[in-house]
Structure formats: C-alpha cells, structure tokens
C-alpha cells in the first residue's frame, strides 16, 4: 500500500452519516464518490492545503528518505452535492 493512502472519515452532505473511505491523498484532490448509506453522489474536495513530508522507511537499510506531497485533511472531511454549482 502506498504511503499516501489514508483511511479518511467522510460526512455525507445528504444523510449526514459518517463513513470511512480509503483515499489517495497524493492523487486527484477532487473526487466523486457515493455514499454507502443513501447512495447520494458526493463531491470531495481536499485541495488547497498541500504539504510536503519526508518518509523514512524504518528497518530497511540504506534507504533514501522519500519526499511526498500529500493533502492535509481534516478529521472528518465534509462532502458536497456535485450537482450544485459552486
Ligand atoms: Zn448519505
């Protein structure tokens, strides 16, 4: 599994339930997903707060530190209705 993969809590804009999704925080910052409870389309937007961090593989000899760029996400990421204009 990639370092940037993160299990993120998402709040559904429609039913307000909270569930978790595995997101790639180094990938595309705007995603469309579906709520597992009410099946609403969810727009997730976590762009804007990019942060670089250094990953050092522990227990692996002679490994160069890796620099990754990920998005800093809140504890619970709110979703929005993708059919509404911004
Ligand atoms: Zn929902």
More confident residue, 82 or 53: 82
In the predicted model, what is the mean pLDDT of residues 12-19?
A: 97
- pLDDT in the model for residue 1: 53
**Residues in the chain, how many?**
86
Q: Calculate how far, in angstroms, residue 31's C-alpha sits from the geometric centre of ligand 1.
A: 16
Domain borders along the chain are: 5-48+74-78
Q: What are the pLDDT digits (tens) for 27-71?
A: 777 889 999 999 999 999 876 655 666 665 566 667 677 776 777
Calpha distance 30→46 (Å, rounded) = 7
CA 57 – ligand 1 centroid, Å: 38
Tell me which residues have their CB within 5 A of the ion that is ligand 1. 12, 14-15, 35, 37-38, 40
**What is the DSSP pairing of strand 66-71 with strand 76-78?**
unpaired
Of residues 81 and 72, more confidence is placed in: 81
Q: How far is the CA of 3 from the centre of ligand 1 (A)?
A: 28
The pLDDT value given to residue 40: 97
CB count within 10 Å of CB 56 equals 9
Tell me how far the alpha carbon of residue 17 lies from the centroid of ligand 1, in angstroms: 6
Q: How confident is the model at residue 24 (pLDDT cuts 50, 70, 90)?
A: confident
Compute the distance from residue 26 Cα to the ligand 1 centre, in Å. 25
Q: What is the pLDDT of residue 20?
A: 95
């Amino acid at each position: 599994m990639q370092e940037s993969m993160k299990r993120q809590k998402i709040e559904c804009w429609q039913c307000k339930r909270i569930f978790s999704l595995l997101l790639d925080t180094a990938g595309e910052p705007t995603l469309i997903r579906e709520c597992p409870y009410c099946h609403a389309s969810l727009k997730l937007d976590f762009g804007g707060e990019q942060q670089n961090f250094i990953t050092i593989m522990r227990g692996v000899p002679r490994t160069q530190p890796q620099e990754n760029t990920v998005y800093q996400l809140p504890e619970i990421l709110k979703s929005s209705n993708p059919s509404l204009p911004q």
